[in-house]
Amino acid sequence: MGLFSKVLVVIPARGGSKRIPRKNIRPLLGQPLIYWPLMELNKFIEGENILVSTDSEAIKSIVEKKGLRVPFIRPASLSDDYTGVMPVITHALKWYEENIKVVDYVLTVYPSAVMLYEKDVRNAITKLIQDDKCDSVMSATNFAFPIQRAVFENQNGYAEMFQPQHYSTRSQDLTEAKHDAGQFYVSRASSVRNGFVLTNSNVKLQLLHRNSVVDIDTMEDLEVAENTLRINKKNLKIKDWKF
């Protein structure tokens, strides 16, 4: 685990969820949702390098059952519906470096990253290390359809293109667009300390297959996640693991 000895993993796990109550600990194939990325991290990250940032005593209790210590409850000022993820990560990094040790990299993993794979994380960190000008690497995947042909309903209720100039452009002549996969980011710790985000820094992409990307925001998404897990992680041992 030498590559990861200087990596802090932060899992931002808020207790509140409007569309799926208690989403981060909701059962998914018999396990709390947050256990799925933790089970994958368990393969290659030491427990002392993982920090779960939560405002929920229930999440804290469930996580600690697997041997991870949750040393603080996230302040209320960082737990409302309007707080972005970066203030949460910055707070976690500051606490960790003041109380545990200084790190070189910060790996942010979302609790809903049920299709997280070690190889993708390793590739992203390697990509970051090999490029001195790179601040972060973001998990991403490609859109299933050219975004240049996206439409919306105008004020009269009729379909209108965002970019009508591309109505007749061949798909192969359009720039392929990607989007955030919502799984993980890996950043230089210095970039986190300096407040660098996607809009003011050099960010590379770690492309994931679309079948590995599951956005869990609705009950229907949970069903999709269960089916995806059955197919792709059916051999994963889910009973006998602990940090």
Distance CA 229, CA 114 (A): 8
- What is the model's pTM? 0.92
Residue 15: pLDDT above 90? no
Q: pLDDT-derived band of residue 241, with 50, 70 and 90 as boundaries?
A: confident
Q: What is the pLDDT of residue 122?
A: 95
pLDDT digits (tens, 9 = 90+) for 26-61: 999 889 999 999 999 999 999 999 999 999 999 999
Distance CA 193, CA 96 (A): 12
**How far is residue 24 CA from its own chain's centroid?**
13
**CB environment 6-43: b (16+ within 10 A), e (fewer):** ebbbbbbbbbeeeebeebbbbebbebbbbbbbbbbbbe
Closest by CA to 11, choosing from 65, 59, 52, is 52
Distance CA 3, CA 5 (A): 6
pLDDT digits (tens, 9 = 90+) for 173-185: 999 999 999 999 9
Residue 81: pLDDT above 80? no
| Residue for token pair 């606490």 | 95
Q: Which residue ranges form the domains of the chain, and what is each CATH number?
A: 2-143+178-232 (3.90.550.10)
Distance CA 229, CA 36 (A): 9
Under DSSP, is residue 153 helix (H, G, I), strand (E, B) or coil?
A: strand
pLDDT digits (tens, 9 = 90+) for 125-182: 999 999 999 999 999 999 989 999 999 999 999 999 999 999 999 999 999 999 999 9
